[in-house]
Amino acid sequence: MSMSTESLKKKKWKAEDIPDQSGKIIIMTGANSGLGLEATKELVRKGATVIMTSRNIEKGKDAVDEVITEIPNAKVELMELDLSKLASVREFAKNFNQKFDKLDVLVNNAGIMQPPYTVTEDGFELQIGVNHFGHYVLTGLLLDKLKFSPGSRVVNQSSIAHSRGIINFEDINSKDKYSRLGAYGQSKLANLLFNNELDRLFKENSTDTIAVGVHPGYTATKLQHNGPTLGGKSIWSRLYTVTNKIMAQGVDKGILPMLYAATEDDVTGGDYIGPGGFSGMRGYPKRIKSSERSYSLEDAKTLWDLSEELTGLKYEF
């Protein structure tokens, strides 16, 4: 990944710099823990109404209780969403579209990292299924609400790991050979290819909505533990226990790129925002360049066409 950076309008932008979000409707996927939970807290502090999604309703209720305990006037609503199941994605979108008349920001934040080989009920390898295909379908089903909300945006959470990713279009579900790290990198590269193609299509169709890519650097969250420990403890979970203590930044810093992309007025479609410090692992948010592969128009189009084919969802701009 090229670490060419461009400063934002404030060199050391913090959560308290978020502009007023009163009246904004924001969906946060993966809001029951980690980056999603902490970002939700900062958004509701500034007046936003946040739809907190969680695949586990009990854990989601605990997260809502935590937000309200910390911010008593918080405007939050919990909705069930399991991105590994397209039926759940469709049900969530149907319920949201019936209840709300607009959507200002969709934050595609939820993810899974380096689990043992698992296939979803829709036939997808779990990482590409949750991290890409689930969010592809979710975004498409919410498109009308985004299009008719002036200044709306889609924020797609990627990772430093995208720079090691290669999309295996012949075996995107890793049926022939599975590498935990390789499949994760593939899914995170897919996030950026999706982001860039989505933004291109917004522009092509004269849609006011923009798509913005972000990454949190190396931030200590449950992500590094939950995926690798599916099916039992692994060498990966033990490794991350050590490196998190030595190298990682706190969640309070890791949420900043996502929050900047979701709220600031100088963000433009196709931006990629992440920590501006050493190797993009930590620091305050800056505009950065992602890997050369992530800007491939050919790969973005191929991934888009494959996503249409495998999910059965064609976007209507």
Question: So which residues are the catalytic ones?
Answer: 184
Contacts of 266 (CB under 8 A, 6+ apart): 8, 9
Token digits for 68?
A: 């309200």
Place of tokens 């249409």: 308
Helix, strand, coil percent values for the chain (each to nearest 5): 45, 15, 40
Distance of CA 59 to the CA centre of its chain: 19
**CA–CA separation, 219 vs 307, rounded Å?**
29
- Specify the amino acid at residue 121: E
CB-CB contact of 107 with 26 (8 Å): yes
**CA–CA separation, 230 vs 246, rounded Å?**
24
**CA–CA separation, 287 vs 79, rounded Å?**
32
Q: Residues for the chain: how many in total?
A: 317
Token digits for 86?
A: 């397209």
